[in-house]
Homo-oligomer: A and B are copies of this chain.
Amino acid sequence: MSPPPAESRLTPDDLREVWPVLTSEERVEAFSHLDRYSAQEFFFTLSARGKSIIILGSPEGERRLWMRLLAPDDAADVIQETDDEARSGLIDLLDETTRKEVKALLAYKEDVAGGLMSPRFSRVRPDLTVDEAISYLRLQARDGIEGIYYVYVLDVEQRLLGVLSFRDLFKSAPEKRVREIMQPEVLAVTEDQDQEEVGRLFARHKYLALPVVDGERRMKGVITADDILQAVQEEATEDIHKLGGVEALDRPYLQVGFLAMLKKRAGWLAALFIGEMLTASAMAHYEEEIARAVVLALFVPLIISSGGNSGSQAATLVIRAMALGELRLRDWWRIVRREIAVGFSLGLLLAVIGLARILAWHGLFDMYGEHYLLVATSVAASLVGVVLWGTIAGSMLPFMLRALGFDPASASTPLVATLVDVSGIVIYFSVSAVVLRGALL
């Protein structure tokens, strides 16, 4: 049989293009048409879930081959994506050392340091000489240490004593002892540290790798910046989705099925709708006022949306600052003082614009009736109150959620807008009741 003509050969780029819209079966089928070299290259760029689909869809013999190509942390990620049934079958395909390592990794939650680390790192004893250390590392490299960036110095009980960069090792005199040239103060993370925190450490210190230790400072593995980069991307995506009032999708948009997509959105949307029903009750409460002065109703959307928008701004800024570790719970007082000043100023700005608009439309189109000045005053005063209130609510809601143990990012912009809408109606009609008493009301 001759190979198909060159034009009709499937390239990894072609496959990447259509990948999101293929079913699992189609993916396996298409993947099998790649040539050997492209298949490997393509395989390694797949997400853990994508890898699991290919592996489970491959014939018995190939399955082992793919599993054995994976580093232990990647193998653990792939296994985590499969259901319980397939799991032990896949673990059995690994060689004995990797199997042990993978089982240890599977014991960690996915979003903590232990779940991100690789158990394979380069280690030396403190009393080797530089030349001995380099030879010893050459041996370790042959045995399958994945990446070597830093060399960790451990005592006999695997406790972390210090760290050496390759540069330190390479530039030192050959007869020096490791102990003399190592850096003894090593920043390490613990196994159960949250990945968001680990990401902040990496971003702040610009490290390429950080050691992971247990409670007794025994070294367990190493996290590299490339692992944490994926984690940081995922955390940001999760926060963005929550901020937009969607449950975090845990895979790419195009790979979420119709029903799953509906579920991710319907919950919050229905909850917000039910909350927003309070606006109908609030409006009903002022039904008589509206009947007497219909002109009041005209400005309801304008006023409540201004509260929602200013609240969205405040919530967004506070939530992102919290995620980046710039704000802690006890900063709330500093923030509230500042947001009051900002909210008041922004409210004044909108009040001036609103006032100008009503006066202009009165002059130009003779709108809003004889009491237009009082209406303009009501609108302007309400705007100051609503924007001020929106800003305070938007900035404090994330603090409250965090204090109660929830994710501050759940204070989505639609949630803040909904909360502020109801109070906006109450503020507006209360202000109007005072300003327009005896005139329109």
Which A residues have a C-beta under 8 Å from some C-beta of B?
20-21, 44-45, 134, 137-138, 141-142, 145-149, 165-167, 170-171, 199, 202-208, 224-230, 232-233, 236-237, 239-241, 243-246, 249, 252-254, 258, 261-262, 265-266, 268-270, 272-274, 276-277, 279-280, 283-284, 287, 290-291, 294-295, 297-302, 304-306, 308-310, 312-313, 315-321, 324, 326-327, 331, 334, 338, 341-342, 345-346, 349-350, 353-354, 357, 367, 387, 413-414, 417-418, 421, 425
Contacts and interface: CB of A to CB of B under 8 A. Distances in A.
A164 to B, nearest CB: 12
Interface core residue of A245, A249, A302 (most chain B CB under 10 Å): A302
Contact of A309 (B141, B208, B272): B272
Contacts of A300: 283, 297, 300-301
A167 B345 CA distance: 60
B252 A226 contact: no
Contacts of A149: 147, 149, 166, 208
A254 to B, nearest CB: 6
Binding site secondary structure of chain A:
helix
B417 A308 contact: yes
22 contacts: A21-B334, A44-B205, A147-B165, A148-B166, A202-B226, A203-B233, A232-B236, A236-B240, A240-B240, A244-B317, A245-B312, A245-B413, A258-B342, A269-B309, A269-B350, A273-B302, A276-B302, A276-B306, A280-B299, A308-B414, A309-B417, A312-B413
A224 B208 contact: yes
A147 B287 CA distance: 71
A323 B321 CA distance: 20
B283 A290 contact: no
A290 B204 CA distance: 57
Given A254-B321, A280-B299, 19 more contacts: A20-B326, A138-B171, A148-B167, A203-B229, A233-B236, A240-B240, A241-B317, A243-B243, A244-B313, A245-B312, A252-B321, A253-B318, A265-B310, A266-B345, A276-B306, A283-B300, A301-B421, A301-B425, A312-B414
Contacts of A277: 302, 357
A279 B302 contact: yes
Contacts of A240: 236, 239-240, 243, 316, 319-320
Contacts of A148: 165-167, 170
A305 B321 contact: no
A327 B253 contact: yes
B297 A283 contact: yes
B294 A290 contact: yes
Contacts of A137: 170
A249 B387 CA distance: 21
B273 A354 contact: yes
Given A141-B170, A171-B141, A243-B244, A342 B261 contact: yes
A349 B270 contact: yes
A168 to B, nearest CB: 8
Given A240-B316, A294-B290, A265 B226 contact: no
A298 B282 CA distance: 8
Contacts of A320: 237, 240-241, 253
A43 to B, nearest CB: 12
Given A146-B167, A245-B309, A309-B272, A327 B254 contact: yes
Contacts of A241: 316-317, 320
Given A45-B205, A236-B236, A274-B353, A249 B346 contact: no
Given A287-B298, A305-B276, A269 B310 contact: yes
Most buried by B among A141, A170, A205, A246: A170
Contacts of A270: 349-350, 353
Nearest to A309: B414
Contact of A291 (B165, B225, B294, B315): B294
A232 to B, nearest CB: 6
Contact of A265 (B269, B304, B313, B357): B313
